[in-house]
Amino acid sequence: MAKVAKLARLTLTDDELAAATEQLGKMLDHFADIDALDLDGLEPMMQPTPLANVMREDIEADTLDRDEVLAAAPSAEDGRFRVPPIIGLDE
């Protein structure tokens, strides 16, 4: 479990590591119980309830004024919102 925690970049105390190891063991036991079930003749299902997309008509409507929205933004540049960079920053 220590290797899994390291791969997940988790820092666990010895007590947390012991608890996580016990919980993982219980999950694996439960999976073994599920694997032991006789499921012959049962159809596989992706969802327990039927799914249906709710669609609405696409109706053109009035929108907010771009200049008014950008004026309320903390920072704007060249007609767009300016946001702080998030890619390439050193941690």
Reported pTM: 0.44
Predicted pLDDT at 72: 94
Q: Is 9 left (phi over 0), alpha (psi -120 to 50) or beta?
A: left
Query: Tens digits of per-residue pLDDT, 12-33?
Result: 999 999 999 999 999 999 999 9
Query: Tens digits of per-residue pLDDT, 59-80?
Result: 999 999 999 999 999 999 999 9
Query: Tens digits of per-residue pLDDT, 30-43?
Result: 999 999 999 999 88
DSSP string, 19-74: HHHHHHHHHHHHHHHHHTS--TTPPP-S-SS----------------HHHHHHHSS
